């Protein structure tokens, strides 16, 4: 969870995502982070502003790992490939913002070196588990005509599997792409993707606002790369897991 130094809205109740679905006023609050960069104490009037933004948003963007799904995808891939402990520590540092995201991603993948076959076996044998309430929340957003996007520092193939369970089109996924040699061995990742960079999620949201003329966009996630996407997001909601 995020303390005051992170200037985030923390969501801790048992129903988690379902409370966002039912009513923004049901959410328990520590801090919220609005696009005008103002830290707002608990239960003040700006909490109402956050609720209004969420309820009137044109688009809601979700982080995936430890938000839409229970796991950190890269940690699960590392465990599957036998290097789980070392990579989990790198993931913790990356989420805290102490190293650049690309540097952490490069180092972690350099340890894992997953083959195409290993990635596919991970998805089929250990599919990612949806966070309780996320399916209902996404359904409710779709019913309201809200566009839902998945913006992830994780991997396209895993995120596509998640999106298919939530009726989110592949076109609404922004994630990192692994590269493989013709024999299926690991060949790196696509470093041109914005999600491979620190600040990349903000770049994606800026693009979405320009491309689709969204007036209000909410970002929901659990990491430093999610928080730094506001602005351009109009509101950031920190998910406590």
Query: Would you please indicate which residues are annotated as catalytic (active-site) residues?
Result: 63, 65
Q: Please name the residue that has the structure tokens 């083959």.
A: 115
Q: Give the C-alpha separation, 110 to 27, whole Å.
A: 40
Alpha carbon dihedral 63, 69, 71, 75, in 10-degree steps, equals -50
Burial of 181 (C-beta count, 10 Å sphere; 0-12/13-18/19+): exposed
């Amino acid at each position: 969870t995020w303390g005051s130094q992170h200037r985030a809205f923390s969501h801790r109740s048992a129903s988690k995502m379902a409370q966002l679905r039912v009513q923004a006023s049901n959410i328990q609050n520590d801090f919220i982070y609005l696009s005008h960069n103002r830290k707002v104490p608990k239960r003040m009037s700006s909490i109402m502003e956050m609720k209004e933004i969420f309820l009137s948003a044109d688009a809601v963007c979700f982080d995936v790992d430890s938000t839409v799904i229970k796991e950190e995808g890269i940690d699960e891939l590392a465990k599957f490939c036998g290097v789980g402990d070392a990579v989990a520590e790198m993931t913790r540092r990356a989420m805290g913002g102490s190293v650049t995201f690309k540097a952490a991603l490069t180092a972690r993948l350099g340890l894992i070196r997953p083959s195409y076959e290993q990635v596919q076996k991970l998805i089929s044998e250990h599919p990612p588990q949806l966070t309780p309430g996320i399916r209902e929340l996404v359904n409710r957003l779709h019913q309201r005509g809200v566009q839902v996007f998945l913006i992830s520092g994780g991997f396209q193939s895993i995120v596509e599997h998640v999106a298919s369970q939530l009726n989110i089109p592949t076109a609404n996924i922004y994630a990192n792409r692994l590269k493989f040699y013709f024999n299926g061995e690991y060949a790196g990742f696509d470093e041109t993707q914005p999600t491979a960079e620190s600040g990349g999620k903000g770049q994606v949201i800026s693009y979405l606002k320009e491309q689709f003329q969204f007036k209000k966009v909410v970002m929901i996630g659990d990491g430093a790369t999610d928080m730094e996407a506001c602005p351009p997001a109009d509101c950031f909601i920190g998910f406590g897991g």
